[in-house]
Amino acid sequence: MKIFIDTANLNEIRKAKALGLVDGVTTNPTLLAKEGETAETLIRKISKEVKGPVNVEVTGITCEEIVKEAKVLATWGDEIVIKIPINQEGLKAVRILATEGIQTNVTLLFSASQAILAAKAGATYICPFIGRLDDISFNGLELIQQIREIYDNYDEIETRIIVASVRNPIHVIEAARMGAEIVTIPPAILDQMAKHPLTDRGIAQFLEDAKKIGVKK
Ligand code: G3P
C-alpha cells in the first residue's frame, strides 16, 4: 500500500518524508489556502520536494475550462495529477485528459456508482472521501469495500483507489485490509499511527532498569 500525505504544508511534508512515508501528496483548495502562498508557488515547491504524484485540484466548472486549466496545472511539476470533482462536466474532461496522457484523480466521490463512472471515463485515480461520509452517518469504509469488489471484478479497470478524508488510524488499517492501493493521510493521523501507550511505558521502564545495570545515556 502506498501512503500519500494529505497536506500542502511543506514542513509537514518534509517531516513525513524523513520517515520514508511520502509516496505522493494530495492537496485541495482548502489545504492550499491555509499556507499563505499562491497555489502555483507552493505546488512547484512541493513537486521539487516529493518524488511521486502531486495532486492538484481544478476550479473550472465546464469541461472546456477544466481541460484548459488541467493543461496549465500539469506544467507545475514532473508528476502532477489533476484532481477533478465528479459530475458530468468533470467526467467528460477526464476522458479527454486520459486520451492526452494527463493523469487524473476523480475527487469528492461518495458512491460506488460514481466510482464506476470514473473508471469508465479513464480516471487514473479516484478519491472516495470516507470521513465526510462517516460525518453524515454513512459508513465510509463500506464504500471502499464496495468499490474494491467492483473494480476487482473487471481486469480492464486500472483506476486506483486513494482513500481520502481519513480521520483516524482505524480508517487506515481497514483500508489496507480491503486492499486500497493508496491511503492519503493527514499529518496528525500519521503521528497517531506511530504511537502506542504500551510502547511509551515499555521504553520508560527499560530506561529505568538500564540505570540499574550501569548503562549510561
Ligand atoms: O483528501 C481529501 C481531504 O483533504 C478531505 O478531508 O477531512 O476535509 O474531509 P476532510
**Quick check: CB of 57 below 6 Å from ligand 1?**
no
Q: pLDDT tier at 25 (50, 70, 90 boundaries)?
A: very high
User: Exposed/middle/buried for 184, CB within 10 Å: 0-12, 13-18, 19+?
Assistant: buried
pLDDT given at position 113: 98
**Position 217 in a domain:** no
**Position 79 in a domain:** yes
**Position 67 in a domain:** yes
CATH code, domain with 125:
3.20.20.70
pLDDT given at position 215: 76
**Average pLDDT score over residue span 122-148:** 98
Q: Which helix (H) or strand (E) holds 182?
A: strand 182-185
Q: How many domains does the chain have?
A: 1
Upper half-sphere CA count for residue 65 (Cβ side, 13 Å): 10
CB 105 within 8 A of CB 84: yes
Q: At residue 64, what are phi and psi to the nearest 5 degrees?
A: -60, -45
Q: At residue 200, what are phi and psi to the nearest 5 degrees?
A: -60, -45
Task: List the one residue out of 157, 120, 162 whose CA is nearest residue 143.
Answer: 162
Domain that holds residue 94: 2-212
- At residue 66's C-alpha, the angle toward residues 161 and 13, to 5°, is 50
CB 59 within 8 A of CB 29: yes
Q: Which mutation among 4, 12, 26, 28 tests ligand 1's pocket best, with the greatest number of atoms within 8 A of CB?
A: 28
Q: Is the pLDDT of residue 45 over 90?
A: yes
pLDDT given at position 214: 87
Percentage of the chain beyond pLDDT 90 is: 98
User: Exposed/middle/buried for 195, CB within 10 Å: 0-12, 13-18, 19+?
Assistant: exposed
User: What is the per-residue pLDDT across 55-93, written as a single tens digit (0 to 9) for each?
Assistant: 999 999 999 999 999 999 999 999 999 999 999 999 999
**Position 200 in a domain:** yes
Among this protein's residues, is 83 annotated catalytic? yes
pLDDT given at position 217: 65
Closest approach atom of ligand 1 to CA 31: 4
pLDDT given at position 34: 97
Q: How far apart are CA 142 and CA 210, in angstroms?
A: 47
**Quick check: CB of 27 below 6 Å from ligand 1?**
no
Q: Is the pLDDT of residue 109 over 90?
A: yes
Q: pLDDT tier at 134 (50, 70, 90 boundaries)?
A: very high
Query: Which residues lie across from 55 on neighbouring strands?
Result: 26, 81
**Average pLDDT score over residue span 127-141:** 98
From the CA of 161, how far away is ligand 1's center (Å)? Answer: 15
How many angstroms separate the Cα of 171 from the Cα of each of 92, 168, 178, 182? 31, 6, 11, 12
Closest approach atom of ligand 1 to CA 184: 1
